[in-house]
Structures are given as C-alpha cells and as structure tokens.
Amino acid sequence: MRRHKKLKEEAELNVTSFMNLMIVLVPVLLMNMVFSQLAVLDLRLPAGDQPGEVNPEDVTLEVTIRKSGFVVSRTYLNETVELASLPAKADGPDYDGLSTALQGVKKNAVFANRSEITLLADPATDYQTLVTVMDTVRLYPAVVAASLVDAVLFPDISLGEADALEVTP
C-alpha cells in the first residue's frame, strides 16, 4: 500500500468580520463614553485661636454661611467688622449678591492683592451650598476685550465652623 502525501495548505485568517465589528463598535463606545472632569481645590484650615499663632496685623476676610444668608466680614487687630449682610432669597442663597459684594471688597486697596478668604459654615450647611459658595468666592464672570472670561477673586480658601448664633429671649 502506498500512502499519498497530502499537501498541507496553510489556512488563511479571515479578519473581515472582525474588522466590520470594530468599525461599528468603536464609534458606538466613543459616543457613549462619559468624559468626566475632576476639580480639586487646595483647602486650608483657618488660623488658630491661640495668641501668638496669628499675626494680629493681618487682615482676614471671612464669609459666614448660614441658612438665613451670608455675612461678609473682615477681622483686623482682633476686631471684626461686618462688610455686607446678604439675606437668603425665597428660592435659596443669594450667590449673585455674594459675588457682587466680594467684587466690591476686591476693589478695596487692602484686599486688591490678597487671595485668602475663610469660609465659616454653619454645621447644618449642605454640601452643594458649600461647593457653590467656594466656586463663587474663587471666580466671577467678567467681560474682557468682548469675550467672557473667569476673573479671580479669592482662590485661597480656608474652611472653618461658624460660631453658634446667640438666641436672645
């Protein structure tokens, strides 16, 4: 008996169907992809209450966040002066009023070159209000050369807890 040697043919790899799948799948995945942005703010703790830790010559700007509204104040030589009081609107906090008040403070020569601000939040302040206030005190929309840009107010933010309100009988 003779054995016939069969010629072995190399199999061809057919990638046409795979390429068709990729041509359809890649655009679909790209259209459904969510592009997320992550914003990180460097926050500081406010200066301590002990004498000697804080230079009393430094002027500090504070925004107190309460359910009743915002209070913008400055502290100089251990004396606090209220610069603006912004009561809450019927539909929520007055962020536009806060931005306008801080823009006025920034025009003051004392605060023109300063970038620090302290946010003192009531313990009952919700997270979204705190984030919106941080965005409000950092930047404001300004028109420069016929285009809208974000101008800087006070980007160096310190967080603290507001004093409890004194209830008078």
CATH number at residue 101: 3.30.420.60
Share of the chain above pLDDT 70, in %: 79
Q: Is the pLDDT of residue 54 over 60?
A: no
Measured between its terminal Cα atoms, the distance across the chain in Å is 119
Residue 137 within any structural domain of the chain: yes
Give the residue carrying structure tokens 């302040």: 125
Query: Which residues does residue 118 pair with via DSSP β-bridges, in sequence order?
Result: 62, 158
Q: Is the pLDDT of residue 89 over 70?
A: yes
pLDDT band (50, 70, 90) for residue 168: very low
For the chain, give the mean pLDDT.
Answer: 80
Q: Which two tokens stand for residue 143?
A: 């028109």
Residue 108 within any structural domain of the chain: yes
Query: Which residues does residue 84 pair with via DSSP β-bridges, in sequence order?
Result: 72
CA 159 vs CA 46, 73, 135, 162: distances in Å? 6, 15, 13, 10
Dump pLDDT digits (tens) for 124-142: 889 899 999 999 998 888 8
Q: Is the pLDDT of residue 53 over 50?
A: yes
Alpha-carbon span 43 to 37, nearest angstrom: 19
Most confidently modeled of 5-14, 81-90, 156-165?
81-90
Dump pLDDT digits (tens) for 141-165: 887 777 777 888 888 888 888 887 6
Sign for the CA dihedral angle at 123, 126, 127, 131 comes to: negative
Q: Is the pLDDT of residue 84 over 50?
A: yes
Q: Is the pLDDT of residue 50 over 60?
A: no
Residue 71 within any structural domain of the chain: yes
Instruction: Quote the strand ranges of the chain, DSSP E.
Output: 43-44, 60-66, 69-76, 79-87, 116-121, 139-144, 147-152, 156-161
User: Count of domains in the chain?
Assistant: 1
Residue 47 within any structural domain of the chain: no
Q: Which two tokens stand for residue 82?
A: 């209220």
Residue 82 within any structural domain of the chain: yes
Q: What is the mean pLDDT of residues 32-59?
A: 61
Residue 50 within any structural domain of the chain: no
Q: What is the structure's pLDDT at 71? A: 92
* Structural domain boundaries enclosing 105: 57-161
Residue 35 within any structural domain of the chain: no
Residue 106 within any structural domain of the chain: yes
